[in-house]
Amino acid sequence: MAIDILWIRDDASLALYCAEWQELPFIALDTEFMRVDTFYPLAGLVQVGDGERAFLVDPLLISNWQPFAALLANPKVLKVLHACSEDLEVLLRLTGSMPAPLFDTQLAAAYLNMGFSMGYSRLVSAVLGIDLPKGETRSDWLQRPLTDTQISYAAEDAVHLAEVYRRLAPKLSAEKTTRVLEDGAELVSNMHREVLPEEAYREAKLAWKLAPAELAVLRELCAWREREARARNKPRNHILRDHTLWPLAHTQPDNLTSLSRIEEMHPRTVRHDGETLLQIIHQAAALPQAQWPPRLPEPLPIEASALLKKLRAYGLAEAERLDMAQELMLRKKTLDALLKTGYPHGPYQLPDSLRGWRRELMGQALLTLLAKETA
């Protein structure tokens, strides 16, 4: 079947079509981007499907994204995407806005118990019986002109995504539709919750093993790396490799020779940023005790696995009862956070990561279960 493809290569055309899309009940959205050696994704193409046609927006030629940002924010137009966390980042960087309300077809498939974290090609095959061509996902989307194969691939994404939505949406109950949209809003909210550079150390490998004085050094190193990665638009590991953070905070080298001996320390880092790193370490090590961060919680011991298993079993039973993918219910990270609030003897508190309908449905039951197990 031939696809009707319309190119949008100037601000006036984008504004004109955005005005048309504002009148639709939904649009399908996809993006193609490059992220090989940059911190932020570089947009190569934005695809819009109106249910009939595929619109290809060239971000290299558009300077005024305001009409598109208004479309993304229009609560009357549903935005349909698939596995969209990176698409959200691309759209936010381009337009300063993100889609709301958001309907993620990957989430919808999971709520229909078709499978969890289904790839787009597999979902299109399962729903539409169409086998999509492979091989263009990692191609150069910043090159111009794009190849005929790239154009066809991008256009098919926009058209088939709209078709998948039309097939899946009627199968969802009103309650499940609400939950898909709630999870979509959570994805958008998470994108807005940008990690502060000063909090980045909490995610560093083995940070829990460090004493508070050493954590102060780790905090400053991670904060510097985060700010530099954003400012230079380079991946964090290009600034300072992950595996160097813990030994830097622990051994605290005070000269370039010692710095260069840190395992996995790149010579380029020593040359370009060595003196800066030594200064950061020296200043952080001199901080008064009142400015040290508290120790980070240790990982749960192996003995906690039995309790984790019982919590997970409860979530799985609820998923089966509601006929949805088991993984949708209780993520391991959430259960770990729950247990860490009171293990081994309690009392426990619901973690912030257990939000929305999951908190309402299962929150009190989880606390009750833990209370019985630790009584």
Catalogue the active-site residues.
30, 32, 87, 153, 157
Q: How far is it, in rounded angstroms, from Cα 317 to Cα 320?
A: 5
Q: What is the DSSP string of 260-302?
A: HTSTT--HHHHHHHHHHHHHHHHHHHTS-GGGSPPPPPPPPPG
What is the C-alpha radius of gyration for the chain, rounded to an integer number of angstroms?
24
Residue 344: asked if its preceding bond is cis (omega within 30°), the reply is: yes
d(C-alpha 41, C-alpha 64), whole Å: 19
137 three-class SS: coil
Structure tokens at 229: 């990665």
- State the distance between the two ends of the chain, measured CA to CA, in whole angstroms: 65
Angle at 114 between CA 128 and CA 158, to 5 degrees: 40
Task: Please tell me whether residue 26 adopts helix, strand or coil conformation.
Answer: strand
CB neighbour list of residue 188: distance below 8 Å, 6 or more residues apart: 88, 98, 99, 100, 102
Provide the token pair at 272. 């370009």
Are 39 and 235 in contact by the 8 Å Cβ rule? The answer is yes
- Type and span of the H or E element at 54: strand 54-57
> d(Cα 9, Cα 251) in Å, to the nearest integer?
54
